[in-house]
Amino acid sequence: MFSHVVIFWTDPAKPAAADDLVAGAKRYLNKQPGILHFHVGKMAKSHRDVVDQSYQVALNIVFDSKASQDAYQDDPAHVEFIEKVFRPNCRKVLVYDFE
């Protein structure tokens, strides 16, 4: 398995950015070959100091292999998501990939 975790900070000048990002991820990013698990959502509030609460949206995709994740990066739907959803709504992104 290969996990692909993406943390998004949205544009504060766009109040609907987090909702648009979640909807866009569901539209463009959950149909690629090799996906075993797909989850996207808004940051969950926590009383625990150890929980980062500075971001707005997170995406977690588990692939069957690193090769599937590599192919996903070039998938036309992923590229369209970046252009139409990510770039207009986000100010920062961090990616955590692990096997």
User: Tens digits of per-residue pLDDT, 33-49?
Assistant: 999 999 999 999 999 99
Average pLDDT of every residue of the chain: 97
Residue pLDDT, tens place only, 79-90 = 999 999 999 999
Domain ranges of the chain: 2-44+54-98
Instruction: Determine how β-strand 2-10 pairs with β-strand 35-42.
Output: unpaired
Q: In CATH terms, is domain 2-44+54-98 a member of 3.30.70.100? A: yes
Find the Cα–Cα–Cα–Cα dihedral 70, 21, 96, 77, rounded to 10°: 0
Q: pLDDT below 70 — which residues of the chain?
A: none
Q: How many residues does the chain have?
A: 99
As a whole number of angstroms, the distance between CA 32 and CA 77 comes to 8
Q: What is the pLDDT of residue 59?
A: 98
Lookup: tokens for 63:
């692939």
| CA angle in degrees (0–180, nearest 5) for 15-19-20 | 90
Q: What's the whole-model pTM score?
A: 0.93
Q: What is the largest CA-CA distance in the chain?
A: 40
